[in-house]
Amino acid sequence: AIQMTQSPSSLSASVGDRVTITCRASQGIRSDLNWYQQKPGKAPKLLIYAASSLQGGVPSRFSGSGSGTDFTLTISGLQPEDFATYYCLQDYDYPWTFGQGTKVEIK
């Protein structure tokens, strides 16, 4: 199975900060990478699909980049509602695999 290594596992940031989360695949996965946001007690929400495409309704401060094995989620100008846990997911090959998650906390 393809392993997804996400970093950092947690970070503290302030409102307005630029935040970057990375995800590395154990083998090349083209651009078959999605990013999700999850708040406590809620189902995950799709933010980015195909590595860099913004899901409809998602604020433009969220962006994704990368291909092959290295991917990045960037939040430009962190907002109070962005404090949550973020996961990457490879949909290149079954079994699909998630990163272990990055918890973004308030500094």
Partner 1 sequence: QVKLVESGGGVVQPGKSLRLSCAASGFTFRSYGMHWVRQAPGKGLEWVAVMSYDGSKEYYADSVKGRFIISRDNSKNTLSLQMNSLTAEDTAVYYCVHIGGYNAMDVWGQGTTVTVSS
Peptide bond connecting 59 to the previous residue in cis, omega within 30 degrees of 0: no
**In contact, 83 and 89? CB cutoff 8 Å:** no
Pairing type for strands 102-106 and 10-13 reads parallel
The least distance separating partner 1 from the CB of residue 95, rounded to whole angstroms, comes to 5
Q: Applying CB under 8 A, which part among 10-18, 45-53, 61-69, 73-81 lies near partner 1?
A: 45-53
Reported as half-sphere exposure (CB side, CA atoms, 13 A), residue 106 has a value of: 6
Among 43, 60, 80, 107, binds partner 1 (CB under 8 A): 43
Instruction: Assess 46 for contact with partner 1 (CB under 8 A).
Output: yes
CA–CA separation, 73 vs 75, rounded Å? 7
Among 20, 55, 67, 72, binds partner 1 (CB under 8 A): 55
Q: Which residues bind partner 1 (CB under 8 A)?
A: 1, 32, 34, 36, 38, 43-46, 49-50, 53, 55, 87, 89, 91, 94-101
